[in-house]
Amino acid sequence: MDIHSSLAAEQYAATRPITAPKPVSDGQGAEIDFAKFATEFANTLQNSENVAKAAMTGDADPHALVQALAQTELAIETAVTVRDKVVEAYQEILRMPV
């Protein structure tokens, strides 16, 4: 029995570093993620606007326009969901007794 438990412990010890979360070296993990999210959101909106302009002048096909509008709709729904969660968290913090 000791052989099996020691083997399990060795395997666990060997795989533990692989599954450990990696710390952010500069301490700005959340800020970087939010900046990346905001940049991608702005790029999606800009791309959709460019495709819509191209479709109005006849330079883009309708399929590209529909795809760009669907991406924009998804981006806006995501941003609204994130905003709602932030407001909900803020309201929950306000309800906490001091």
For the stretch 7-22, pLDDT in tens is 667 776 776 666 666 6
The pLDDT, as a whole number, for residue 53 is: 93
Residue 15 falls inside a structural domain:
no
d(CA 41, CA 37): 6
Do the domain assignments include residue 3?
Answer: no
**Count of structural domains within the chain:** 1
Q: What is the value of pTM for the model shown?
A: 0.61
Report the pLDDT value the prediction gives residue 54, as an integer from 0 to 100: 93
Residue 39 sits in which domain range?
A: 25-94
Residue 4 resides in a domain: no
Task: Return d(Cα 34, Cα 19) in angstroms, integer.
Answer: 24
Output the pLDDT for position 10: 72
What pLDDT, on the 0 to 100 scale, is given for residue 91?
95
Find all residues with CB under 8 Å of 40, minimum gap 6, and list them. Answer: 75
Give pLDDT < 70 ranges for the chain. 1-8, 12, 15-32
Residue 69 lies in a domain: yes
